[in-house]
Structure 1
């Protein structure tokens, strides 16, 4: 029995590990914050590289003869301009896809520089300084993969980027007339080691970021989003829905007779009831839906891409739930008000919340444990079996 409980406890944390392995398991809230962090770090590093790369022209001047150093200087100048362009672009990054493009652009510059410069550096006669600089250039692909460790990335994202850079290393080796097999094996092994470290570091960064975001945005008692985070998400989804002419619905709900629980049985029992309600509500949500603790015993469920006709199946899923028992043994029930962006003609998300809130009070006045929506089909009785 204890072994079975141990297995179940381990299975519960699998979704948390999936967030570190694959980007598809992230909520919209996490994706939005991750995009901001990736874009911010791309901007910082791009500005740093835009300043430092031209300074290296001095080293090339002393390390190589004409026209090699001039060619490298031209490549560096172009690279610096591109880096500075990425720095300017990062301020307008709004989505994770944009952040991916910025990161990919930044990571592509050193490997491209490596591939273009290789033919000019192979088998040239130079002194000790030149040999050292050529060796430094050969490390560019490894530096790129190591640089991934400063970003909050999943294992899959780092792996795909690392494999792309590995292809660059192979192409660079293919440009040489006489390939040293032992040196190639050593380089490949070094790339594997660096890639492994970057994967672990990227996952650690991501785990730390998710933990901080959840602590700041989640209600500690119920695990739902806080009102502040919920308002941010509501605003984002409303702007997306308005721009794309997509449907968007909202459920405003209140736990019936919750004050009597606190008054008769104490706030500790009231907290238990709220935990039960949040846990039950989470079971009926899709991945895109969000549960928000609006305040006290009030909850909001945001339903992106959901028109008024598709609210009814969600209400019916709620009716199949149990939200636990009150301390007196009676089932916990809720009253619900629904609103929909296009049907209600709402000008902003605040109006959506106000309409749903008003309808929730209508449900309470008409007997509680009911739902009231923008059309009669959504006016249901006995939402929770009493």
Structure 2
């Protein structure tokens, strides 16, 4: 829930962690990561399956379209899976692995447990792709293709997805607990988490725009309604009319799993209303509203730009999705092409 953001995206339940690096270590990290991004850009290709599985994009899109007919939330859920996958060990489909004798599943990490969804749709897509092109298309690439289809089918931009990722042989539950941005964090911590994977402030705001569709659970924002930062009062940045609406949806004695629209205006459409909502103090999650309400933050001007120019947002979002999809992919002979996204081959 992009939420999470962006996609934290999309029905968050996460722990609160920040990242800090000594200056020298940060310089080394940035230089090393920049080299990694350049290398990964060279390895991934939009025509990777042109001869081995030429219809894969069409097949994934058709499956997502069918899923949307019975579940309006699924597009937001699928893009959130891609986001939560990439922020841990890179875009390697580690989030799809179930528990096993050697694997602690990321599905049970705090940001994902009882909130990450869409795994069944991924399995359906994988099954169909395996029927057409057995042993060819990775689960990591399916996540990237499903994210693009989810956005474009919901009225958002389309982009050519770089492909050629391979699937991990393990998961990183501990990493999922610390690396994924949470809805409770301040802008400084969230910016640090984006920076740690090579994404800049523009990427942060663009990808947060994925919260223009989908839902979030009450427990991810109820603290803003009743006892923000231990004050015993609501978050002062919340629009007063919106606050009353949210309190009716999420009473103090209610279920924390009740869902609320991330975008109260067009909850199932992909547009730039998310940014207009922030300007009206109607960001659902703390991590959303802080993009606009943090005094002096560089994110404010970007929010204003995207609010007034949907085309600029769409163009930036598409590029930021490509940037995110380039986080530490396994390529060449690394990892494998899983035959079942839930488990490593031979297990």
With the length of structure 2 as denominator, give the TM-score of the two structures. Answer: 0.23
| Structure ID, larger Rg | 1
Higher strand residue share: 1
Higher helix residue share: 1
With the length of structure 1 as denominator, give the TM-score of the two structures. Answer: 0.22
